[in-house]
């Protein structure tokens, strides 16, 4: 919005200062009063453009220089644009933001080669260039009559020339596509577009009715919710008091587990000892009976061995005797009495010494052979006995070795182990 205009020796104005309020300002004046000059001052200050023939023609006749200054606001910010021209044709321009009494310069001059373009900055701030401003806001001198008198077609063409209405047609066409796309986008984003408004309103009404109808149910549910909330609070309280107990139980269970595993280990150990003792008892139980017989068996074995020796010796003696008797028998067969005379010395002999009698010797050999057979039987019997006693003696020695291996010295010790085993079995229970 334009807020002020100042013209100094500009066209027919020597020194004109105008302040504008909100709303519409109307200039009324005779021909040549200087109304159009104000429009020229505005466009010259902003864009350096005007309707006069030349820049120099802007300077009030009879003066050397003139200026036009425009104050305006955009988005609550205040700006000021001023341009000066002197009779040599020199132009000076300045565009600034107004903050209080200060002027913060935005651009100055139009020396494009130095990157200066005040017009460009003004266009950027107000969002319009001179051409657009002309179309949007300025009806040039004489055009108004043409507008009023124009026929519809011409009127449209004129408006088109003034404000570019054909662009509105194009825009309207373009808007159809924009509308279509916008509708599609809305539908994509929210699932509906403006064509659904009617049935959405129906649905809305329906749902509002449903909401209204379900109010009692909602109240009931709220009551229930309140009740449940209280219950939850109660339960929370309980959890708070119960949690330490649960922790304690967990600790106890852990301890129980430890104790159980300790007990199991202890039982396993005792069971192992029991098994060992039972094996010991089983191994050693019968050993003492064997051991008790050992001395007796040793003496028996000794006796039997003595007897065997004796028998063998006797058999040997008798065998020797038989050999000797057989020699005598051979001799006796040659010593036969002939008419009771000795065959050697021819002396009279009543009868022969039995030692030289063949029959007697035969008898004796037979006797001895019988005795040998009997002794051999005896010897077999002793050998049998010796075998029997030796086995028993070996058993006794094995038993002794077993006891020694188990470090058992006497029956009492074994009984003690048995009792100990019983106690251990009780202990397991
Ligand atoms: N350089 C100048 N120095 C002094 N006066 C000038 C200069 N150029 C034009 N004028 C005068 O300015 C007046 C034109 O002013 P302007 O065009 O603003 O009038 P107006 O109010 O718009 O009139 P109209 O109602 O006819 O449109 C004329 O009287 C003209 O003689
Ligand atoms: Mg005029």
Query: Considering only CA atoms, which residue is closest to atom 24 of ligand 1?
Result: 31
Q: Are 118 and 94 in contact (CB under 8 A)?
A: yes
Span 13-29, average pLDDT = 93
Residue 395 CB neighbours (<10 A): 18
The CA 427 to ligand 2 mean position distance, Å, reads 131
pLDDT tens sequence across 339-361? 777 777 878 877 777 777 888 88
Report the pLDDT value the prediction gives residue 181, as an integer from 0 to 100: 92
Pair of tokens at residue 103: 């002027």
Report the pLDDT value the prediction gives residue 93, as an integer from 0 to 100: 93
Span 201-228, average pLDDT = 94
Place of tokens 């341009």: 83
Phi, psi of 104 (to 5 degrees): -95, 110
> Sign of the CA dihedral 391, 392, 394, 395?
positive
pLDDT over 70 at 265, yes or no: yes
> Between the CA of residue 245 and those of 240, 249, 253, 257, 339, what are the distances in Å?
10, 6, 12, 18, 139
Say yes or no: CB of residue 34 within 6 Å of ligand 1: yes
Q: Rounded mean pLDDT of the chain? A: 89
pLDDT over 80 at 370, yes or no: yes
> Sign of the CA dihedral 384, 388, 389, 391?
positive
Task: For a ligand 1 pocket test, name from 7, 8, 13, 34 the mutation site with the most ligand atoms within 8 angstroms of its C-beta.
Answer: 34
pLDDT over 90 at 334, yes or no: no
Report the pLDDT value the prediction gives residue 315, as an integer from 0 to 100: 95
> Sign of the CA dihedral 400, 401, 404, 408?
negative
Query: Considering only CA atoms, which residue is closest to atom 6 of ligand 1?
Result: 12
- Identify any residues that bridge with 97 across adjacent strands, giving them in sequence order: 79, 104
Q: Helix, strand, or coil here: 107?
A: strand
Angle value at C-alpha 337, between 333 and 341, nearest 5 degrees: 145
β-strand 65-74 against 2-10: which pairing, if any? Answer: antiparallel
Phi, psi of 118 (to 5 degrees): -65, -40
Say yes or no: CB of residue 14 within 6 Å of ligand 1: no
Report the pLDDT value the prediction gives residue 165, as an integer from 0 to 100: 65
Number of residues assigned to the chain: 429
Q: Are 71 and 4 in contact (CB under 8 A)?
A: yes
163 or 20, higher pLDDT: 20
Query: Considering only CA atoms, which residue is closest to atom 25 of ligand 1?
Result: 31
Span 313-318, average pLDDT = 95
Report the pLDDT value the prediction gives residue 161, as an integer from 0 to 100: 58
**CA-52 nearest atom, ligand 1:** 8
Separation CA 429–CA 179 (nearest Å): 93
Phi, psi of 276 (to 5 degrees): -65, -45
The CA 1 to ligand 2 mean position distance, Å, reads 22
pLDDT band at 254 (very low <50, low <70, confident <90, very high): very high
Report the pLDDT value the prediction gives residue 366, as an integer from 0 to 100: 94
pLDDT band at 113 (very low <50, low <70, confident <90, very high): low
Q: Helix, strand, or coil here: 7?
A: strand
Pair of tokens at residue 115: 């990157």
Query: Considering only CA atoms, which residue is closest to atom 8 of ligand 1?
Result: 11
Nearest to 99 by CA among 76, 124, 72, 78: 78
Report the pLDDT value the prediction gives residue 422, as an integer from 0 to 100: 95
pLDDT over 70 at 279, yes or no: yes
Say yes or no: CB of residue 241 within 6 Å of ligand 1: no
**CA-35 nearest atom, ligand 1:** 21
Query: Considering only CA atoms, which residue is closest to atom 27 of ligand 1?
Result: 31
Say yes or no: CB of residue 61 within 6 Å of ligand 1: yes
Say yes or no: CB of residue 51 within 6 Å of ligand 1: no
Nearest to 161 by CA among 173, 146, 174: 146
pLDDT band at 128 (very low <50, low <70, confident <90, very high): confident
**CA-40 nearest atom, ligand 1:** 18
pLDDT band at 95 (very low <50, low <70, confident <90, very high): very high
Pair of tokens at residue 406: 């188990």
pLDDT band at 286 (very low <50, low <70, confident <90, very high): confident
pLDDT over 90 at 111, yes or no: no
Q: What percentage of the chain exceeds 70 in pLDDT?
A: 93
Least confident residue range of 21-35, 156-170, 400-414:
156-170
Separation CA 421–CA 273 (nearest Å): 8
Q: Where are the beta strands (DSSP E) in 194-285?
A: none
The angle that helices 197-213 and 215-284 make with each other, rounded to 10 degrees, is: 70
Say yes or no: CB of residue 66 within 6 Å of ligand 1: no
Q: Are 117 and 125 in contact (CB under 8 A)?
A: no
> Between the CA of residue 191 and those of 184, 196, 198, 201, 220, what are the distances in Å?
9, 10, 14, 15, 34
Report the pLDDT value the prediction gives residue 345, as an integer from 0 to 100: 80
**CA-34 nearest atom, ligand 1:** 18
Separation CA 47–CA 51 (nearest Å): 12
Query: Considering only CA atoms, which residue is closest to atom 11 of ligand 1?
Result: 12
Give the distance, in angstroms, between the CA of residue 37 and the centroid of all CA atoms in the same chain: 83
Residue 301 CB neighbours (<10 A): 18
pLDDT band at 135 (very low <50, low <70, confident <90, very high): low
Query: Considering only CA atoms, which residue is closest to atom 16 of ligand 1?
Result: 34
Say yes or no: CB of residue 37 within 6 Å of ligand 1: yes
pLDDT tens sequence across 39-49? 999 999 999 99
Q: Are 244 and 372 in contact (CB under 8 A)?
A: no
Q: In what order do the strands lie in the sheet with 77-86?
A: 13-19, 2-10, 65-74, 77-86, 91-99, 102-108
């Amino acid at each position: 919005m334009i807020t002020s205009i100042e013209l100094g020796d500009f066209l027919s104005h020597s020194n004109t200062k105008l302040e504008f309020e909100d709303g519409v300002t109307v200039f009324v004046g005779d021909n040549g009063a200087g109304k159009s000059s104000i429009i020229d001052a505005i466009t010259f200050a902003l864009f350096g453009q005007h309707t006069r023939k030349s820049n120099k023609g802007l300077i009030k006749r009879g003066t050397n220089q003139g200026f036009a200054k425009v104050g305006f606001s955009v988005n609550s910010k205040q700006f000021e644009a001023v341009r000066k021209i002197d009779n040599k044709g020199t132009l000076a321009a300045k565009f600034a933001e107004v903050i209080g009494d200060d002027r913060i310069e935005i651009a100055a001059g139009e020396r494009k080669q130095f990157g200066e373009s005040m017009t460009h900055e003004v266009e950027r701030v107000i969002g319009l260039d001179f051409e657009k401003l002309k179309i949007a806001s300025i009806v040039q001198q004489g055009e108004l009559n043409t507008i009023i008198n124009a026929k519809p077609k011409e009127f449209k063409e004129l408006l088109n020339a003034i404000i570019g209405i054909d662009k509105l047609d194009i825009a309207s066409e373009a808007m159809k596509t924009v509308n279509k796309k916008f509708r599609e986008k809305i539908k994509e984003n929210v699932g509906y577009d403006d064509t659904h408004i009617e049935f959405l309103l129906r649905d809305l009404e329906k749902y509002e009715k449903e909401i209204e109808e379900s109010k009692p149910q909602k109240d009931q549910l709220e009551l229930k919710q309140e009740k449940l909330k209280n219950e939850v609070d109660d339960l929370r309280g309980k959890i708070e008091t119960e949690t330490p107990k649960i922790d304690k139980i967990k600790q106890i269970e852990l301890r129980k587990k430890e104790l159980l595993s300790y007990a199991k280990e202890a039982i396993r150990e005792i069971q192992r000892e029991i098994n060992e003792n039972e094996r010991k008892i089983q191994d050693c139980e019968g050993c003492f009976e064997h051991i008790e017989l050992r001395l007796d068996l040793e003496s028996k074995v000794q006796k039997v061995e003595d007897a065997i020796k004796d028998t063998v010796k006797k058999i040997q003696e008798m065998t020797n005797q038989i050999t000797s008797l057989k020699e005598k028998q051979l001799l006796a067969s040659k010593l036969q009495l002939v008419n009771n005379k000795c065959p050697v010395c021819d002396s009279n002999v009543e009868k022969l010494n039995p030692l030289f009698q063949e029959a007697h010797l035969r008898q004796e050999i037979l006797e001895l052979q019988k005795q040998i057979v009997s002794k051999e039987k005896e010897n077999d019997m002793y050998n049998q006995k010796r075998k029997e006693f030796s086995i028993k003696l070996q058993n006794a020695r094995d038993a002794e070795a077993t006891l020694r291996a188990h470090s058992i010295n006497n029956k009492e010790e074994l009984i003690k182990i048995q009792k100990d085993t019983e106690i251990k079995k009780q202990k397991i229970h």
